[in-house]
Structure 1
Amino acid sequence: MRLPRYSRAAAHLLVLMILLLCASVTGAQEDTHNLLPVTEAYKLTADSSTPGVVKLHWAIAQDYYLYRGRMNFKGGDDVTLGAAQLPDGEKHDDPYLGPVEIYHHHVDATIPYTLAPSAIRLTLSVRYQGCHEIEPKICYPPHTEQLDLPIPASAASPGNKLSDLLDSRPSALTGDSNAPLPAEQAFQFSAIAQDSRHLLLRWTMPKGYYLYRDQTKLSLKDAPQLTLTPTWPAGTPHQDAHFGNTTVYFDDVTLPVTVNGEVASFKTLALIASFQGCQDGGLCYPPMTREVNIDLASGSSATVETVQDPAPQRPLASAKADSLNVSFWSALLLAFGGGLILNLMPCVLPVLSIKALGLLESAENPARRRMHALMYTAGVLVSFVALGLVIIALKTAWGAHLQSPLVVAVLSLMMLAVALSMSGVVQFGASWGNTGSTLANRSGPAGDFFTGVLAVVVASPCTAPFMGTALAYAFVAPVPSAMLVFLALGLGLALPFLAVGFIPALSRLLPRPGRWMETLKEVLAFPMYLTATWLAWVLANQRGADAVGLLLVTAVLLAMTLWWFERSRERGAFSRVLVVLLALMTLVPLYYLKTLPPAARVSGGNATTVAFSPEKLDELRKAGTPVFVDMTADWCVTCKANEHAVLSGDGFQALLKRTGTVYMKGDWTDENPTITAFLQAYHSPGVPLYVVFPKNGPGRQLPTVLTHSLVEEALVEAAK
């Protein structure tokens, strides 16, 4: 039997989409081979002919750029570097690092230095990072070059004196731009020893930046018998929104510090300074920590080192295979398997019940059965391609659309409308086939197509076991390869219906249609009601009880609209106008829903759960405490399943206590840039993400589906 015209056209469209994308993969993968090695893209030369100053020059290739804020300079054992002098860069809005400055073509840096008397060579390490800004758009990993340069004959190493410290404000920090500077530039910190018992600390800020006095903490590393007594100068009174009445310092502040205790046995002191400041009228920086080594004998200034973790790095497309340990074909296979398993997930099953009924009704009509399968598959594939393009273009994550309360509310109402249709409250006619209402119409091609669209939309909260790696690959792969991964996901999701639609042996296993199908349809409406209820619960966690109240009002108005729509079939034009007015009324509560502030999040669980923050994680890691980081969201079904099966109960609490592990939880139900950056740093396509940090060493990422034995093994290993 020949396929109907619509079936043949749909089949040809699907084949054409797949062939076009397949043909572009090889060329896209070959593009990355044309990238220059990092040392050719950024050719670094150094000049040490001027005593006390080393000059660096980068020749930057065409279509490449360097980040100013990602440059770092560190002297060797006998070399103390001063603040690097760099020109202002071009303003650039980076999707991961925010407002930054970059350099094209070339850039020069001038770095003052002093040498120890024993120095015979000028050694330093130079770290930098840059990107290729046209297709394929990738960023190189941070690259470090070790320089070993001759010392000019007239170079001296007297050490920086007190006058040098007081005049050390860098000319590059003019503060003319309203864009916030990197923390290292906004708050320059240095220290010297006047004598063995008196230190002099100095913070230098550009115009428009200030430092909090009461948020500054000083301590000595590896010297518990010594204490510090700072003598703060008079500052500027400041009424702060977070700290109340406080004192701040603009431009610069010099702080005398007295060292108490027996210092005779110390030649150097390691000073740790933690402080916080803001841009006036702009952003406030997170607490910063700097470590300074002070030579008590010579009074020389110290090498300043930022102790806190660096900012999460941009995912590197060039390192996709190495960092993710997965090939293109493995990613396709994993994506296909993940799509298959999505059919069993609770968030997708209610929508699939609609198609199941359609296949049952068309069991004795092969042409209709194939049409059902093709149009549903077309809806799934088109939706996955569209979703993939949005995710790649906006650099967002899988499931992130459910962070929008408005999207959650609309999905809940769609589920309610479909359920009301399955319960017999309303029957959508063919004249409405091109609207979203046809999601419940099982007979038309448009209804089949939009049911596939709905299946993809509601599938995003569910993460199948194999989907995480495949999606992570897609986020850092070239666009054509990424699109094929999303298509493989769609084919996996649609495969059961394609198989039943085109394999007669499978279709003969379907039961014969009968009156029992009407009862089954009404029964299957209840999972749709439950899905709408679950989405209402997610909305309550996002925007509180007021949001649920508005959603319920909208649901009543929607039910009234559908009821009157059914009643108006045999009535006049006025009744149809009333349907439109009622439909418009349902939009009013949604408008007010969008204006509600986020709900206050109550930390649940138990006393051993710690809310995620980079600062707290950094503090725990420095203390040598194992940490289990759990990134979750209320709309993530896999997250909730893991919590119920593994991450709750006395067994998990006993494991935490036995291993001395801190359970740190990040809630991504609402948009959270800090958690988003953490996900991106681990190439995670979304939640759940589980990372175990041991006492020492890098974190270990766990699979998205947990078992108690897997978690126990990871925590016991981390505690060693």
Structure 2
Amino acid sequence: MTRLFLFLLLLITPWMAVQAQLPGAPLNVPATLEAETMTPAPGGEVTLAFVMRPKPKWHGYWENGGDAGVGMNLQWDLPPGVTAQPLRYPVPKTLIIAGLMNYVYEKPYALLANLKIDPSVPMGTRIAVKVRANWLACDDRVCVPEGDDLSVNLTVGDGRISADRRSRFDGYRAALPVPLDQKGRYRIDGKMIEIAVPFPADADIGAPYFFPKTEKLFAYSAAQKARRNGDMVIIRTGVDSYNIASFGGGDVNGVLRYGEGRGVIVTLQNGAIPTGGTPILDDQAASGKAPENFLVILGLALLGGLLLNLMPCVFPILGLKALSLAKMGGDAASAKRDALAYSAGVILVCLALGAVMLALRAGGEQIGWAFQLQEPRVVLLLLLMMTAITVNLFGGFELGSIGAGSGLAGQSGVAGSFWTGILAALVATPCTGPFMAAALGAALLLPVPQALTLFAGLGLGLALPYLAIAYVPKARAMLPRPGPWLQKFRMWMGVPMALTAAALAWLLWRLSGQNGLFIGLSAAVLLTVILLFYGRMQYRRTGNGRGIMAAMAAGVMLCTGGAFVALPAEPVPAVQQGADNILAAEDYSAQRLAQYRQNGDLVFVYFTADWCVTCKVNEASSIDRAETARAFKKAGIKVLVGDFTRGDAEIARTLSQYNRPGVPLYLYFPRGGEAQILPQILTVDMLANLAEKKETETSL
């Protein structure tokens, strides 16, 4: 009765009166119909998107609109052999108008529905999909019932999906809540109801809110108070006192929002609710205020950046760091100046990467931390920069102002330290270290100012050892004084730079194939020749210095620009694992994981990338080992591997699901249990213990 009463109230309230849509009038929330593929395969499915674009100050509604709204209603007109599945809605937002709670969308959004094509439908059959869609459009004064006749013409074919459509629909799907594979609980206590939803204790929850699908139970406008108790998020709110008597009991369905635009679909059973716990902030977090535990999260970002110095990810830049320390010497003023410049470079890169990642994710892209190394042209640029640094460290030339700053990393002074910091951050941040996951996962849920503060904290932590050496006299006194030895040390530090360049060339091959590798190596060789030629001119001190510099700069630009233009735009297919796949690992997919879990199998899932040094160290030392393979085979553990080298929307969604900004991520799924997140540094014994634990459980 409550919803009917409130809806009638809208009818009779002049400033929120529901008006009929006038024929031919422009829609306030216009809709278009898109298909992911125009040639669905027989026996397959095609995803349709009802793309809604509300005008400014207008909004559409979730499937349960709250106190006064209603969702979309569809009337399909489909040919034989084609059936439509229910609509899937993205996670909504809350909007209170005159004390009424509404579950709405104020920005463009997409509702998805799958069409199933019967296997009997012949190839080449034309399918005219027609649907009458009706919805409610409102602003803060009026509500208007709207509708439109939408259609799309398909042809049964090979099911091919273009890259552009796949990317666009991946963005639509990214806004959908994901099903939770275990049930929660609810308990009604007089006029209040408490719900408990399973949620990992170490995952950031943001400002949680429960959107109920089940009607006649919740008081939508009642405040929701949340707390955490272990692996449970508990929300307490009011019940609908007018309709609670008609609630028939049974399961309760809804969506738990745990961040901006993110949620999980959960089913609740009547049962006991844990007592106690830690209160978490309410909806005020959506206003842009920093959460009460923001300083704790910032501390995690700082600590994560600090510990990143100990991770294998930083090994490729060991030369840059060691040379930077050696240049400090014992001079206090120089050490402080260089450390500040180095820190500024590191923090600048972390802020820039964080800002770009936030912007791309806001635009619907499914990317993770270190996304820059998934782009072949970025890898090519780094290859050329590392080539220039290597030549500079080996004494091939002494110029520090060309190659987009690449040579600056090899010179002394503030400029050299600044560019050393930039390159250090670019190469050192592909992997995530301890404490980074929680901090960067929180950054993806917080407002932009707080998120960027966390990225800056990560950069500060990465630079902290060098600041400590510069500003702590006892630490600085341990450094050797600069002298003739520094020149030889500089040349030795060219070795890790050369190895880094070789690793980048290998990564370029993985991303762009043999053609990309040929272009990259050709550009690197040409750049080396140009730099050596200039170094020879420096040694002889002949000719016009400015003219030589201009000629060399032009040569570098032509070399780099030509390589960028010639580099293949599309990556080649992933290199398949061969006989060395001793674990018999299969490619990761959510469907394959769900099937194994449904069959009662034990599953080990690991997400890796060719640019992730920590990943490769773990694979060489612990995963791809005969001992691990024997233990897994004996225990019957299935192995799935997700390759994030080139970026993958499904893997990015999975990383986000487990609050991880990037790889590596290691998951173990016991039979009938939740995923266990393993440490980021693995050992053979740790993996073998998973198999032993299985055998122990079986014997019990």
1:435 Cα deviation from its structure 2 partner: 5.0
- Three-state SS of the structure 2 residue aligned to 1:586 is helix
Q: How far, CA to CA, are the matches of 2:514 and 2:279 in structure 1?
A: 47
The alignment status of 1:90 with 2:52, answered yes or no, reads yes
Distance 1:110 1:538, change over 3 A: closer
Q: How far, CA to CA, are the matches of 1:438 and 1:504 in structure 2?
A: 30
Counterparts of 1:356-367 in structure 2, within 5 Å, are: 356-367=322-333
Distance 1:649 1:462, change over 3 A: same
- Three-state SS of the structure 2 residue aligned to 1:662 is strand
The alignment status of 1:106 with 2:75, answered yes or no, reads no
Structure 2 counterpart of 1:237, one-letter code: M
Counterparts of 1:218-367 in structure 2, within 5 Å, are: 235-238=121-124, 316-317=259-260, 327-349=293-315, 351=317, 353-367=319-333
1:361 Cα deviation from its structure 2 partner: 4.1
The alignment status of 1:670 with 2:646, answered yes or no, reads yes
- Three-state SS of the structure 2 residue aligned to 1:182 is strand
Contact in 1 for aligned 2:89/2:112 (Cα 8 Å): no
1:417 Cα deviation from its structure 2 partner: 0.8
What's the counterpart of residue 413 of structure 1? 384
Q: How far, CA to CA, are the matches of 2:161 and 2:325 in structure 1?
A: 62
1:108 Cα deviation from its structure 2 partner: 4.9
- Aligned-pair identity in percent equals 34
1:635 Cα deviation from its structure 2 partner: 0.8
What's the counterpart of residue 236 of structure 2? none
Structure 1 counterpart of 2:459, one-letter code: G
Structure 2 counterpart of 1:342, one-letter code: L
Contact in 2 for aligned 1:314/1:681 (Cα 8 Å): no
The alignment status of 1:571 with 2:543, answered yes or no, reads yes
Contact in 1 for aligned 2:306/2:462 (Cα 8 Å): yes
The alignment status of 1:428 with 2:384, answered yes or no, reads no
What's the counterpart of residue 221 of structure 2? none
What's the counterpart of residue 468 of structure 1? 437
Q: How far, CA to CA, are the matches of 1:45 and 1:277 in structure 2?
A: 46
Structure 2 counterpart of 1:593, one-letter code: L
- The one-character-per-residue Cα deviations of 1:620-676 (angstroms, maximum 9, x if unpaired) are 222222221111111111111111222122221122222222101111111222212
Q: How far, CA to CA, are the matches of 2:402 and 2:553 in structure 1?
A: 17
- Please point out which of 116, 126, 131 is paired with 2:92: 131
- Three-state SS of the structure 2 residue aligned to 1:427 is coil
The alignment status of 1:591 with 2:565, answered yes or no, reads yes
Structure 2 counterpart of 1:436, one-letter code: G
Contact in 2 for aligned 1:380/1:453 (Cα 8 Å): yes
The alignment status of 1:481 with 2:411, answered yes or no, reads no
- The one-character-per-residue Cα deviations of 1:410-456 (angstroms, maximum 9, x if unpaired) are 11221111111110001015xx3895144334323222112111111
- Please point out which of 533, 552, 555 is paired with 1:582: 555
What's the counterpart of residue 38 of structure 2? none
What's the counterpart of residue 680 of structure 1? 656
What's the counterpart of residue 555 of structure 1? 524
- The one-character-per-residue Cα deviations of 1:506-550 (angstroms, maximum 9, x if unpaired) are 221112222221111111110000011111111222222222111
The alignment status of 1:602 with 2:602, answered yes or no, reads no
Number of residue pairs matched? 487
1:386 Cα deviation from its structure 2 partner: 1.9
Contact in 1 for aligned 2:444/2:451 (Cα 8 Å): yes
- Please point out which of 446, 458, 463 is paired with 1:494: 463
Q: How far, CA to CA, are the matches of 2:315 and 2:637 in structure 1?
A: 37
1:706 Cα deviation from its structure 2 partner: 2.2
What's the counterpart of residue 394 of structure 1? 360
Q: How far, CA to CA, are the matches of 1:133 and 1:665 in structure 2?
A: 38
1:716 Cα deviation from its structure 2 partner: 5.4
Q: How far, CA to CA, are the matches of 2:406 and 2:583 in structure 1?
A: 47
Contact in 2 for aligned 1:377/1:491 (Cα 8 Å): yes
Structure 1 counterpart of 2:416, one-letter code: G
Q: How far, CA to CA, are the matches of 1:507 and 1:626 in structure 2?
A: 52
Q: How far, CA to CA, are the matches of 2:63 and 2:554 in structure 1?
A: 52
1:684 Cα deviation from its structure 2 partner: 1.4
- Three-state SS of the structure 1 residue aligned to 2:479 is coil
Q: How far, CA to CA, are the matches of 1:450 and 1:426 in structure 2?
A: 17
Deviates more, 1:594-603 or 1:380-389: 594-603
Q: How far, CA to CA, are the matches of 1:280 and 1:641 in structure 2?
A: 37
What's the counterpart of residue 218 of structure 2? none
Contact in 2 for aligned 1:331/1:470 (Cα 8 Å): yes
Distance 1:574 1:353, change over 3 A: closer
Q: How far, CA to CA, are the matches of 1:651 and 1:585 in structure 2?
A: 51
- Three-state SS of the structure 2 residue aligned to 1:627 is strand
Larger Rg: 1
- Three-state SS of the structure 1 residue aligned to 2:682 is coil
Q: How far, CA to CA, are the matches of 2:88 and 2:514 in structure 1?
A: 51
The alignment status of 1:704 with 2:662, answered yes or no, reads no
Q: How far, CA to CA, are the matches of 2:431 and 2:307 in structure 1?
A: 10
- Three-state SS of the structure 2 residue aligned to 1:425 is coil
The alignment status of 1:378 with 2:344, answered yes or no, reads yes
Query: What is the TM-score normalised by the length of structure 2?
Result: 0.60
Contact in 2 for aligned 1:90/1:101 (Cα 8 Å): no
Runs (5+) with no aligned partner, structure 1: 1-42, 48-58, 60-64, 70-86, 94-99, 113-125, 135-139, 144-178, 188-210, 214-231, 239-246, 253-275, 287-309
Deviates more, 1:686-695 or 1:318-327: 318-327
1:583 Cα deviation from its structure 2 partner: 1.5
- The one-character-per-residue Cα deviations of 1:241-285 (angstroms, maximum 9, x if unpaired) are xxxxxx787669xxxxxxxxxxxxxxxxxxxxxxx9988997699
- The one-character-per-residue Cα deviations of 1:199-247 (angstroms, maximum 9, x if unpaired) are xxxxxxxxxxxx251xxxxxxxxxxxxxxxxxx5xx4333xxxxxxxx7
- The one-character-per-residue Cα deviations of 1:440-476 (angstroms, maximum 9, x if unpaired) are 3432322211211111101122322232222222222
Contact in 1 for aligned 2:585/2:639 (Cα 8 Å): yes
Contact in 2 for aligned 1:88/1:101 (Cα 8 Å): no
Q: How far, CA to CA, are the matches of 2:51 and 2:2 in structure 1?
A: 18
Contact in 1 for aligned 2:582/2:626 (Cα 8 Å): no
- Three-state SS of the structure 1 residue aligned to 2:396 is coil
Structure 2 counterpart of 1:182, one-letter code: L
Runs (5+) with no aligned partner, structure 2: 6-15, 17-28, 34-48, 56-61, 76-86, 96-100, 131-155, 171-252, 264-277, 282-290, 362-366
Contact in 1 for aligned 2:380/2:520 (Cα 8 Å): yes
The alignment status of 1:654 with 2:615, answered yes or no, reads no
Q: How far, CA to CA, are the matches of 1:437 and 1:353 in structure 2?
A: 14
Q: How far, CA to CA, are the matches of 1:372 and 1:281 in structure 2?
A: 52
Structure 2 counterpart of 1:328, one-letter code: F
Q: How far, CA to CA, are the matches of 1:111 and 1:461 in structure 2?
A: 46
Distance 1:677 1:88, change over 3 A: closer
Distance 1:330 1:702, change over 3 A: farther
Q: How far, CA to CA, are the matches of 1:506 and 1:385 in structure 2?
A: 28
What's the counterpart of residue 243 of structure 1? none
Counterparts of 1:159-170 in structure 2, within 5 Å, are: none
Query: What is the TM-score normalised by the length of structure 1?
Result: 0.59
1:702 Cα deviation from its structure 2 partner: 2.3
Q: How far, CA to CA, are the matches of 2:693 and 2:652 in structure 1?
A: 27
Structure 2 counterpart of 1:669, one-letter code: T
Contact in 2 for aligned 1:380/1:456 (Cα 8 Å): yes
1:363 Cα deviation from its structure 2 partner: 2.5
The alignment status of 1:633 with 2:602, answered yes or no, reads no
Contact in 2 for aligned 1:428/1:440 (Cα 8 Å): no
- The one-character-per-residue Cα deviations of 1:310-335 (angstroms, maximum 9, x if unpaired) are 9x998624999999999534433332
Counterparts of 1:194-213 in structure 2, within 5 Å, are: 211=117, 213=119
Contact in 2 for aligned 1:621/1:695 (Cα 8 Å): yes
The alignment status of 1:404 with 2:357, answered yes or no, reads no
